[in-house]
Amino acid sequence: MNALDPVNSHGCGGGCSCSGSADTAEPELPLMEAPFEARPDDWTPPHVNGVALCDEQEVLDAPALRQRACTELLRQAAIAKDLLPADDPAPHRGATSEAAADAIERLLDTALELPEPMDAAGRRHYAAHAGRYAIGEKVRARHVLFAVTPGVDVQQLRQRAEACLLDVRNTTPQEQAAGDRFAAAAKSTSNCPSGAQGGDLGWLTAQDCAPEFARELFGQAEVGVLPRLVHSRFGLHVVEVLERAAGTTPPYEQVRATVLATLRQQSFATALSQYLQLLAGQAQMHGVELEGAETPLVQ
C-alpha cells in the first residue's frame, strides 16, 4: 500500500456533489493553510534535522506540519538506509521527488514488521463489528457541511459547526412543529449543494460514501441528529439519520478476506505510527510535535 497516495474520494453521500467511493483510504480533515500573518523578525521555520517544513509565506496548521514532518522523517530515513541519494532535493511546500516517494515505500516494506492476521483474530473482529459488513443496508440522511477551504480558520470553523450541532439537537417539539430547523440551517449555512434541499442526501449505501462518512452512518442503530461532528477531507458535517433499512449480515466465511484486509490495515497503521515516533525521537525537530500523534500518512 502507498502511504503517500493522495486522497481522492469525497466526504458526503450519493445525493450530493461530494459523493465518493468507500474503497478509498480514511483520511483526516484536509490539511489547509491558515490565514497568513506577518512573521516576527526572529522567526525560525519548523524543521526536521535542519530541513525546513515550510517557507516564510506559508502558515500551516498543526496537522499539516505533522504530515510534512512525517514525510521528511521517512525521506531522511530512506537516505540513511542508502535507498535514496543524499542529494535528493528537499521537499518544496510539502512536495517530495518521485524518487523519494518510491524510496519511502521500499523503506516501509523493510522497516515495518506486519504479522499476517490469524483467522481467530478475524473472527473476533467480525463478532465485534458484524454490522460493518452488512449487505444491502441503507440510510436516509441529511447534513450541514462546514467546508475547510484555503485560508479558513479551522478552530473558528469547528466552533461554528459545534454551535450548529448543539442548536439542531436541542430543538424542542414545539420549535420543530413551527419549522424544520435542520433544513433551515442547511439552506443558510451548508457549503454543499444539497443545502438547497435542506441538506437532503437521499437514500445511501456504504458504497455511495467515502469511508469516513460510511463508518459513522452504517452498522449502527442511531436515528436522529448524530451527537458528534463527522469529519471528512472536505470539512465538518452535522448529520441527521432520518431512516434506516436493515441489510443482511453475511457469515464470516463470506467476508473473511475483507475482515483480514481490515486487520492488515490496522496493523500497518500501528506499525507506521510507532516507527515514526522512533524516528522523531532520534531527530532534531523544531516547531512541530509528533509524539502520540496519529500521522496523516497512515492510509
Q: What is the pLDDT along the chain (299 residues), one digit of tens a residue?
A: 333 333 333 345 444 545 554 443 333 333 334 444 455 666 788 889 999 988 777 777 777 888 899 999 999 999 999 999 999 999 888 889 999 999 999 999 999 989 899 999 999 999 998 877 878 889 999 999 998 877 778 888 889 999 999 999 887 666 666 678 899 999 999 999 999 999 999 999 888 888 888 888 888 888 999 999 998 877 899 999 999 988 888 999 999 999 999 999 999 999 999 999 999 999 998 888 876 444 434 33
Res 173: pLDDT: 65
Q: 164 with 189: CB under 8 angstroms?
A: yes
Separation CA 117–CA 182 (nearest Å)? 44
Separation CA 256–CA 264 (nearest Å)? 12
Q: 183 with 189: CB under 8 angstroms?
A: no
Assigned C-alpha cell, 21: 467511493
Phi-psi region of 50 (alpha: psi -120 to 50; beta: other; left: phi over 0): left
Separation CA 37–CA 266 (nearest Å)? 39
- The architecture that CATH gives domain 133-245 is Roll (3.10)
* Of the candidates 71, 45, 48, the residue with the CA atom closest to the CA atom of residue 284: 48
Q: What is the CA radius of gyration of the chain?
A: 22
- For 49, other C-beta atoms within 10 Å of its C-beta total 12
Assigned C-alpha cell, 202: 437521499
User: DSSP characters for 80-112?
Assistant: HTTSS-TTPPPPBTTBPPHHHHHHHHHHHHHH-
Res 137: pLDDT: 86
- Burial pattern 231-242, b for ≥16 Cβ within 10 A else e, equals bbbbbbbbbbbe
Res 36: pLDDT: 41
Residue extents of the structural domains in the chain: 133-245
Task: Name the packing angle between helices 62-80 and 252-282 (round to 10°).
Answer: 80
* Of the candidates 19, 54, 13, the residue with the CA atom closest to the CA atom of residue 287: 54
